[in-house]
Structure 1
Amino acid sequence: MADLSKREVRRREIAAAAQAVAARDGAEAATLRAIAAEAGMAANAVLYYYGSLAEITAAAVQASSDRFLARLAEAADPAMSPTVRLAAVISAGTTAGLDDDASRILYEYWTHSLRDLEHRRIQAELTRTQQATYERIIADGMQAGEFFPVLQPAKIARTLVAQEDGLVMDVLAGTASSEDVLDLVASLASALLGLDRDTLLDHIASLTFSHPGQ
């Protein structure tokens, strides 16, 4: 943060406080007063840096989305074969936001996108980026002769993202394990792309074992 202004540093601290409250106590508990207390500030002082609670929560969600997408981009290493890259992105897409509460915060505030234009923009950009990541991998896999899609690549990519979104919610709710989710998403991807399911799962298991923190 050495190159950031003091104001920007403070804004990030407030957004981080909002993330902490939402992850610990839920979005409903992330009031202006609660966020200010978490940041060690008075509520009116927080409003010096942000114009409203809505602006703070949008910043918190944006930061969580950025963290999630950074991990997804890191997983999509173009040096890997398309099949291994697919395994890496499936693993990242279902587990990357779980260890630091990024996914929990995104889900806590998901319903805000039904009413708030800024939250809707963040959610739409998150989905577009996830889908584009899969589309690039599918295109490379087709070119390499590794994938044989049964639907248009864009439809497959969107379906995989939607599957991940729903299943990660089950993990957060405690009704499914990460292992279950990885198996289901890999099974779907294999069927849609003409891949051997066990091979894809082996790649996922290898990547998960190599990066146990993810």
Structure 2
Amino acid sequence: MAKYGFLGSSFDPITNGHLTSAQEILDRLGFDKIFLMPSSSKRTDKKINATDRQRLDMIELAIKGNDRFDLETYELGVSAWQVYTYETMRVLKEKEEFKEHDLYFLMGADLLQDIAIGDNWKHREELLSENKFVVIRRSGLDMHEIVASSKLLRKYEHHFTFIYRGVDNNISSSYIREEFEIGHNPRYYMPQAIYEYIRDNNLYQ
């Protein structure tokens, strides 16, 4: 049985933070593979700036040569923004290539805090009861305090694994987009191939 992780994000664009988080999980927790899972561009709660094809191109460039990284495009195929994380995980568990394996949803401590608050997360009970998680450290957030302060998270605390990254990289996709927009040069926050792709395609500028 293989151990697979799924890291969901808009990847608009993919950053060194996404990649270092995924590599840390591979190395420290013994995962066999991590799948980068871009979110639907039809979602109403967040504007996606690059096209689906451009986001896929950038992910493929970023993970080229690392056979322990892969793409999972299920959420891109959703016809409207009606997909919830608990439904996505149910679908993945039924896919032939994943049926016999151990699946984890990967997230930052900021998403753990969002789940604890609950405003933007539907079907929290189903999500937490049916799945296992890896939670990645974020500056300024105490992961254990977040769990301790939530009755629902405490109920499923045994489903969480916490990872404290050696590199605390909080550079976000939105920060990179903003730097391009105001004429700054954020080239070292992402792989060189991604920087060149953005520049050559006049993205975010």
Give the TM-score normalised by structure 2.
0.33
| Larger RCO, structure (CA 8 Å, separation 6 or more) | 2
Q: Whose Rg is larger?
A: 1
Richer in helix (by share): 1
Richer in strand (by share): 2
